[in-house]
Structure 1
Amino acid sequence: MKNRYLFVILVLSIFAAYFLVEKDEQKEVALITQKRNILSFSTYGKIKSITVAGNTIEIKEAIEDNLNLFYDELQKLKVDRILESDEVDENFLKFDGAETITFNFTSGKVVSFLVGKKIELNQSFYMAVIDGQKLTWLIARFETAFPADANDKNRDRSSIPYEKFREVLQTPKEFFYTKLKE
């Protein structure tokens, strides 16, 4: 009889542990999916045009290799965290003259990204995603290689990746229409 009670307790504790762990993992998967969907355009359809550095680039007219280089750079952007509305004070997160990139889709959907201030503690920065009437603030980072001395204690706070991403968003219009040298 004692063994049955111990067996029942064992089975119940295994089920409880399983459901607690599974629930946490499901939350984690949902969060990762949400982060990926913010930067994924597959749900919107084909991109018709991009507005970057104040210039509108018509995808049909641009050189495909140059567009691919531009897209490759944009794919280095990663979302660290999606901010809740009570965490957001736009006066602290954005600044005047911030770079914006806007994607216009054949479906009529328009999605814009606004670069905010850099976070002083690391290489991350604030960024707003404007999807129609919905505004979402993120903490993002740009994963790019940059030269840094291994002994430099401040290399993890470097603004080089942030500045590099801002440079990408200032790509001149001519880049998209001029054949690059091989």
Structure 2
Amino acid sequence: MWTTTRTALQLREGSAAVEAFAVRDVDTGVNQLVDARHVGAFGLGEVPACRHGFSLSSSPQTLELVPVGAGGARGEPWVLRHDGQGLIDVVRVASPASADADLIAGPLPVPGHERRAFSWVSVGGMWTLSALLGLLCGVVGFLFWRFKRRRVQDVRCAACHAAIPVDVLDDRTDGFFCPACGTAGVWKGRRGVDVDVTRL
């Protein structure tokens, strides 16, 4: 187990990405640079397995945080109070003076994922789109069934008078001999318009 403190940072539009945090213990004056990737994954506190992070005391501390950009640019510092017990619940302990008050008002807001009010227009549009999509699928399915379905007719063999089922829409078969007696041939047109029975 180790004690650590998570942080969340809001960047102004067009500002450089934060690469690290300059952390200073206000009471003791100890300074340390903590990688932003470590802060995002584990928080400010030192993780023994990583051998990185700020050494947090088991007693209360006052910490000053300054974001540092890739070019060495420093952001606005802010101060937070570490209670020495670690923060189990995600709570807001401190914010820079220039932070957006509207975003702070919400519980840990995520920019770009604001909760929108319920709208009956959106619900109506969703149901209308679903109905149109269902109607389109129904029309396509009906046309596919109409033009692809088999049209089977029973043809009597001229020799043995057995009923022979013939698919008049099957273009792959022009004719065949009676499967019952084998003495009569059944022939049909290319598109199944005419069905003729010829006795050998």
- TM-score, normalisation: structure 1: 0.27
Select the structure of larger CA radius of gyration. 2
Q: Which has the higher contact order (CA 8 A, sep 6+)?
A: 1
- TM-score, normalisation: structure 2: 0.25
Higher helix residue share:
1
